[in-house]
Amino acid sequence: MTPTAVIAEDEPLLAQALRSELAAAWPELDVLEAVGDGAAAVGSALRHRPDVLFFDIRMPGLGGLEAAAELADAWPGNAAFPALVFVTAYDQYALQAFEAQAVDYVLKPVQPARLRRTVEKLRQVLAQRPRPDGAALEATLAQLRHLLQAGSPAAGAQPLLKVIQAGVGSSIRMVPVERVVYFEAADKYVRVVTEEGEVLVRTPLKELLPQLDPQAFWQVHRGTVVRCTAIDSVQRDEAGKLQLALRGRGERLPVSRLYAHLFRAM
Amino acid sequence: MRIDWFAKLGNLLQTLAFCFAVATLQYAFTPERPYAPNLVYSLFIGTIIWAVVDLGRVAMPSARETGWPPGWRGFALVAAGIVAGRFIGVALADLVCRRFDLYGADNHVHGAAQVRADLLITLVAGLVGCYWFYARNKSAYLLRRMREAERHANDARLKLLETQLEPHMMFNTLANLRALIAVDPPRAQAMLDHMIAYLRATLDASRAATHPLRTEFDRLHDYLELMAIRMGPRLSYALDLPEELAELSVPALLLQPLVENSIKHGLEPKVEGGRIEVRARREGARVVIEVRDSGVGANGQGSGGQGFGLVQIRERLASLHGAGASLDFSADAGGAHARIALPLAA
């Protein structure tokens, strides 16, 4: 069977170059598609279900790591998850994390000798790939979790927020952090939902997160951070996905596979 | 509170050696008195002073950084040590000397002059000992501070170099160049020329204070051309400089950070990319230069315009033109807009 791949790289010349380097290093590999951003990469990978993914780490919209996490979330259980190779120009700190997690990466400009080593490894991985099972996907998720953590500012490096200051008209609403039920990233702002109502802030969730107490506020999805004491129960729906029911509230919050490990019976 | 007992033991041993020296010196001047009581008194007084001062300062939170309590507290501690040494140390030493009968033939009833002499020795030796430890602590503290400052300076230098030659931009550009060499050598050559001009300008920026606006626009052209090759159809740009303003002298690379911000915070995060326009025009006695992009708007530099790049531009403008020049920055969902106004006659 011909091995297949999808490339995600936002710079067209580099996508083209990777394609031709791969053609030389791995002639039988069939590159099904090359896309230019993270969201398109998730769509393309779900459509083609390739054997290998080459993801650039820095892309507009979703970065490579986030895209891989998103893909793992949406990946059907009956298919084997693709082998991941990340491509980056310069990301010294994250690279140590990649080595620690045994996730493959190549540096730009891509060197033919280095790419051949990666191809060799990929061939071995594909040859002895186990039957699709939950454990393999779980391992990939754990790796991605570590990598995403390595790239974000460490918890405790910043002082914790006491109040959320939200502009409402010409005034500033002061919302004590412990009153927040959950934060939800919307298009250009973050919804701060409290028991009494909700306010909007412009600070991205990524910047809010390190200022929240990680014991009290849990990230359960790329765009959702919940106060753990506000969660009433966790249920698994028909598709096998976790859903959070909140105390005294109607809405359900989906939990992404990346964070499903948080919810286990003691 | 953690106590470094190893260091404390070292201090105690030094104190004991010092006491030994004091007792020996004392014996040398009054050989008619036996040596043993001198030594016992000296060791007891010294140890008590050491205990009060060396252990006492650990209990003072103000002493944590320098190792010595500041101001009157330091003097009070030393005074307390010496007083405690004088009374407790002497009492204990007297007890020991009687118990082991060390006074010998000396009836140990001293005259007032002898008591005053002993007191003086305790005072002087105590002060000298304390000063020795104080000075050592202080020099160690200063040395530590010096090393820290040196490390900070090195970090800052590295940081500056890294912002000047942003490695991510560098390696991506090189990767593009490598790809172009194979498929389109003339274009690769053109790209390399832009890169050389960009690098030279970046590295020279600290040396030349001002240059003509034409040169500034040429450098922007180099940078944007590099980015256009990298981003392909995601980037379009326009540079507009009227001929009459071309020779106007401006701070070197004044506009560069604005355009780099537009790329980095405005267009690179945007999936469909966008457009940058840099336009200069005359408005009465002033020159207005605008940098406008159609990027994501809300960006890493904060919509209030407080980012590092903007602060630096404001400082440079203020030092050259005082209140005569200004930089306004605004960003919304439609993109970011920066506007610099300069007096025409510099």
CA dist A1 and A24 (Å) reads 19
% of chain B at pLDDT higher than 90 = 29
Per the CB < 8 Å rule, is A13 touching B180? Answer: yes
Q: Which residue has the tokens 């981003």?
A: B231
Tell me the sheet residues that pair with B236: B275
What part of B 260-279 touches A (C-beta under 8 Å)? 268-271, 273
CB atoms within 10 A of CB B109: 7
> Which span out of A133-137, B75-79, B160-164, B191-195 was modeled with the highest average pLDDT?
B191-195
- Taking the mean position of all CA atoms in its chain, how far away is CA A186? 17
In this structure, what token pair is assigned to residue A132? 């699709």
Q: Mind telling me how many Å the CA of A12 is from chain B's nearest CA?
A: 6
Confidence check: pLDDT of B302 > 60: no
Per the CB < 8 Å rule, is B298 touching A20? Answer: no
Contacts of residue B202, Cβ cutoff 8 Å, sequence gap at least 6: B164, B165, B253, B256
Chain B residue numbers touching A108 (CB-CB < 8 A): 171-172, 174-175
Burial A31-45 (b: 16+ CB within 10 A, else e): bebbbbbbbbbbbbb
Q: Which residues of chain A have pLDDT under 50?
A: none
CA dist A88 and A151 (Å) reads 13
CB atoms within 10 A of CB B34: 17
- For position B140, what pLDDT does the model report? 85
Confidence check: pLDDT of B42 > 80: yes
Question: Per-residue pLDDT averaged across B35-44, rounded?
Answer: 87
* B23 to A226, B26, B27, B37, B214: CA distances (angstroms): 72, 5, 6, 9, 83
Smallest CA–CA distance from B273 into chain A, residue: A60
Q: Mind telling me how many Å the CA of A152 is from chain B's nearest CA?
A: 15
* B326 to A234, B282, B300, B331: CA distances (angstroms): 56, 15, 22, 17
- For position B107, what pLDDT does the model report? 58
The ipTM is 0.80
Question: Per-residue pLDDT averaged across B47-75, rounded?
Answer: 80
Per the CB < 8 Å rule, is A89 touching B233? Answer: no
Higher-scoring residue by pLDDT: B29, A228: A228
- For position B301, what pLDDT does the model report? 44
- For position A17, what pLDDT does the model report? 93
- Taking the mean position of all CA atoms in its chain, how far away is CA B285? 43
Per the CB < 8 Å rule, is B172 touching A37? Answer: no
- The mean pLDDT of chain B is 85
Q: Which of A71, A219, A211 is nearest to A155 (CA)?
A: A211
- For position B299, what pLDDT does the model report? 46
Confidence check: pLDDT of B1 > 70: no
